[in-house]
């Protein structure tokens, strides 16, 4: 059980923006299924992100590019059903909004309608600002995403830190302001220099959510399976492990296999 007990009040986009104004840090984690989302929600996280990282974590793809809108809706629907307090935000996957603004709005409405999530996240800056305006006008809260944008991996060719150089850094700042003006309620800053993230955080009225962007962002996000150390070998500098479930689960499954092989499970008391 988490610290949530009796009356549960749903976290909204306005509540997230209020947290910045009040100086309260914002916690966000990914989830992709009903069971894990229920645990994360009960533990008190503010936002659950149904990330297109499901392409990697749940499907075993090398990038986030292959995952489809239909697949994201299935993952998001289970998470939305489990989250009674946390705001649930779903990534719009690659290809769902890049073709045209009309198609982007149509897919945004469909994703919210069919999954029940509370908002959507889009990668990109000024080039998607008008689309963000239209989605927000349709009544859907939007979170932006700048810095390392995994959907553009084929363009960048690397997952290295972004915006180290002055020109790219200034564009990122301008993009952040453009997303704010378009109506985003928050923006994720991924793998950018801490000093730049601090500047963006101070300049914006809306919250920044960092991942590999230093300690001065208004909130932080991690992939759940990463922070639980379920993905052996993935240890970027920004990741902190809060458990070691790969070892624990391996040991538990190994003990089960041993008990079955040795006829110790089930016992006479575990039958009908």
CB atoms under 10 Å from CB of 271, counted, come to 6
Tokens of residue 148, six digits: 């390392």
Q: How far apart are CA 169 and CA 81, in angstroms?
A: 39
Helix 166-182 to helix 194-203 angle, to the nearest 10 degrees? 30
Helix, coil or strand: residue 186? strand
**Known catalytic residue: 127?**
no
Token pair 């697949």 in the structure block, residue:
71
Tokens of residue 30, six digits: 């990914």
**Whether the Cβ atoms of residue 95 and residue 50 lie closer than 8 Å to each other:** no
Residues in the chain: 272
| Backbone conformation region of residue 133, classed left if phi is above 0, alpha if psi is from -120 to 50, else beta | alpha
Q: Which residues contact 186 (CB under 8 A, 6 or more apart)?
A: 13, 16, 17, 26, 143, 144, 206, 207, 208, 209, 218, 219
Helix, coil or strand: residue 246? helix
* Active-site choice (190, 203, 216, 270): 190
Query: Alpha-carbon Rg of the chain, whole angstroms?
Result: 20
Residues with catalytic function? 190
């Amino acid at each position: 059980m988490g610290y949530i007990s009796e009356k549960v009040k749903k976290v909204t986009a306005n509540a997230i923006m209020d947290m910045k104004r009040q100086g309260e840090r914002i916690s966000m984690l990914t989830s992709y299924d009903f069971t894990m989302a229920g645990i994360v929600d009960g533990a008190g996280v503010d936002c659950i992100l149904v990330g297109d990282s499901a392409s990697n974590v749940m499907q075993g793809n090398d990038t986030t590019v292959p995952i489809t809108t239909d697949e994201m809706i299935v993952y998001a629907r289970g998470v939305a059903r489990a989250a009674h307090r946390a705001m649930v935000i779903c990534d719009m996957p690659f290809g769902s909004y890049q073709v045209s603004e009309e198609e982007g709005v149509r897919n945004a409405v469909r994703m919210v309608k069919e999954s029940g999530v509370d908002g959507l996240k889009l990668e990109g800056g000024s080039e998607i600002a008008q689309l963000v305006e239209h989605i927000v006008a349709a009544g859907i809260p939007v979170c932006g995403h700048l810095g390392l944008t995994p959907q553009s991996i084929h363009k960048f060719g690397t997952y290295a830190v972004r915006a180290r150089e002055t020109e790219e850094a200034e564009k990122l700042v301008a993009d952040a302001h453009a997303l704010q003006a378009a109506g985003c309620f928050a923006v994720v800053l991924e793998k950018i220099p801490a000093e730049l993230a601090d500047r963006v955080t101070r300049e914006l009225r809306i919250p920044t959510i960092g991942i590999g962007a230093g300690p001065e962002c208004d909130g932080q996000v991690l992939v759940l399976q990463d922070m639980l150390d379920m993905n052996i070998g993935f240890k970027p500098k920004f990741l902190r492990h809060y458990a070691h479930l790969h070892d624990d689960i391996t040991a538990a499954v190994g003990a089960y296999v041993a008990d079955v092989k040795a006829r110790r499970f089930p016992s006479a008391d575990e039958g009908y």
